[in-house]
């Protein structure tokens, strides 16, 4: 039976279920083909960076070709909060192109929101939501495999297997991803696995434990400190919810045991590299906040956040315009001549590495509110989808929110692909599973 708690008040559940049944009766082979393409797209977020672009093109192509067959179901996705709020955020960002000081970069960053179209294109086959969640998890595990291959290649000196990424320093293994992007993807992957590891039973618990352990090792290998902090927060939050639901300490014991084993293994293998990166972050951030010394990687991150706050104060309602952050900094930053600004200019940062501050700086209070409401709608809906892997996408979105202080994931195509998949898997009302009985009219 359909989980009625997922029904948003304005959706005609009976009509929507009938529309999905008619879609299956009319073109069952087309549904299967669409499902395969959607699963490939969900998997693609764990593959090399060009894969989500190809996957989205194939998905949108399948959706457009089959639009005549799915027209009866499509109107119901347009009533979903994630679709309405996503459209509102995209429209407001586009409106900001009118007053941005850097329209070329504005179009580039607004274009990253194209992955939000996954909400529409995945909807016709969302009755196989479990398959799509599994496809995303499989893609992320493939990325962990690539990390292992690159680590082995670095140890053996097999240069042709080692990607030449910018900022790929010693002790940072991202596999076929840049380490920073690897950190974000793996935080989302950890969100998929954790609720199954801590709150499910049977095969889901064992799969969740194994997936969490592999993901944590991969996260440690990236050397991405923001991802480490987000992962730690995600584990604490998920374990706390598990304890409240179960009214027992077993989930915490499980989480602690997995954490001790994984962290112990990582420390034995790369403890020195981990401790150096943690120490550097603490020292550099401390110097920035206490002494105003921003001439370091982490000091620059602090300064970019300060600039974003200044831009928001100057334009509190509408912001400086889509893509206009860097141009506004160049024209208005008070420390334009110091070494930190030179580092900022040379690195060509187009955003402030903070999702909420970036939305506020470029879109004002309206843009920041729409972004948080959009993601929040997905989180709220995903938590009502069931237990175990069923609520994994919601926890993955929580992971992205915890990553918000370290990355502006809405303006980068690679991270926006992860966001698009997760929001597509978290509508306010889920269609009935394939073969489920249609709810009789009251």
| % of the chain with per-residue pLDDT over 90 | 48
Q: Is 218 helix (H, G, I), strand (E, B) or coil?
A: helix
- Angle made by CA atoms 409, 413, 417, in degrees to the nearest 5: 80
- Look up residue 388 and give its DSSP letter: G
Pick the more confident residue, 282 or 5.
282
Mean pLDDT of the chain, nearest integer: 84
- Both tokens of 165, joined, read 């990424």
How many C-beta neighbours within 10 Å does residue 314 have?
A: 12
Give yes or no for a contact between 332 and 310, defined as CB atoms under 8 angstroms apart: yes
Between 417 and 151, the higher pLDDT residue: 417
The per-residue pLDDT for range 258-273, each reduced to its tens digit, is 666 666 555 444 455 5
pLDDT band at 54 (very low <50, low <70, confident <90, very high): very high
Q: Does 279 score more than 90 pLDDT?
A: no
- Give the pLDDT of residue 335: 60
* Interval 162-185 mean pLDDT: 78
C-alpha 284/C-alpha 294 separation (Å) is: 8
Decide: helix, strand or coil at residue 46. Answer: coil
Q: What sign for the dihedral angle of Cα 282, 283, 284, 289?
A: positive
Lowest-pLDDT choice from 3-7, 163-167, 280-284, 378-382: 3-7
**412: helix, coil or strand?**
coil
pLDDT at 143 over 50: yes
Instruction: Using a cut of 0.85, tell me whether the model's pTM lies above it.
Output: yes
Under DSSP, the state recorded for 191 is H
């Amino acid at each position: 039976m359909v989980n009625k708690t997922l029904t948003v008040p304005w959706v005609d559940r009976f009509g929507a279920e009938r529309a999905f049944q008619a879609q299956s009766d009319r073109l069952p082979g087309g549904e299967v083909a669409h499902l395969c393409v959607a699963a490939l797209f969900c998997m693609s977020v764990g593959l090399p960076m060009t894969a989500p672009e190809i996957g989205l093109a194939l998905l949108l192509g399948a959706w457009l070709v089959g639009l005549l067959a799915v027209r009866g179901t499509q109107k119901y996705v347009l009533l979903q909060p994630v679709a309405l709020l996503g459209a509102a955020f995209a429209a407001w960002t586009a409106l900001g192109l009118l007053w941005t000081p850097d329209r070329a970069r504005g179009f580039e960053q607004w274009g990253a929101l194209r992955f939000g179209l996954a909400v529409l294109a995945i909807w016709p086959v969302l009755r196989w939501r479990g398959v799509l969640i599994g496809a995303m998890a499989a893609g992320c595990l493939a990325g962990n495999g690539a990390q292992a291959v690159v680590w082995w290649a670095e140890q053996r000196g097999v240069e042709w297997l080692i990607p030449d990424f910018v900022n790929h320093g010693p002790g940072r293994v991202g596999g076929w991803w840049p380490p920073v992007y690897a950190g974000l993807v793996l935080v989302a992957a950890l969100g998929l696995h954790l609720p199954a590891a801590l709150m499910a039973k049977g095969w889901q618990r064992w799969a969740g434990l194994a997936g969490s352990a592999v993901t944590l090792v991969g996260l440690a290998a990236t050397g991405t400190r923001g991802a480490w902090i987000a992962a730690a927060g995600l584990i604490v939050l998920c374990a706390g919810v598990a304890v409240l639901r179960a009214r027992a300490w077993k989930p915490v014991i499980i989480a602690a045991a997995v954490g001790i084993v994984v962290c112990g293994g990582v420390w034995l293998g790369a403890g020195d590299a981990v401790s150096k990166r943690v120490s550097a972050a603490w020292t550099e951030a401390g110097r920035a906040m206490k002494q105003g010394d921003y001439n370091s990687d982490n000091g620059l991150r602090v300064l970019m956040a300060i600039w974003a706050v200044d831009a928001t104060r100057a334009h509190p309602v509408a912001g400086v315009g889509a893509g206009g952050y860097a141009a506004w900094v160049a024209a208005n930053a008070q420390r334009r001549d110091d070494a930190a600004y030179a580092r900022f200019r040379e690195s060509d940062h187009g955003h402030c590495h903070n999702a909420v501050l970036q939305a506020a700086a470029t879109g004002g209070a309206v843009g920041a509110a729409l972004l948080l409401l959009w993601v929040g709608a997905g989180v709220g809906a995903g938590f009502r989808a069931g237990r175990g892997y069923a609520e994994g996408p919601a926890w993955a979105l929580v992971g992205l929110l915890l990553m918000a202080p370290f990355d502006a994931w809405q303006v980068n195509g690679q991270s926006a692909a992860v966001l698009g998949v997760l929001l597509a898997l978290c509508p306010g009302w889920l269609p009935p599973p394939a073969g489920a009985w249609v709810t009789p009219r009251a």
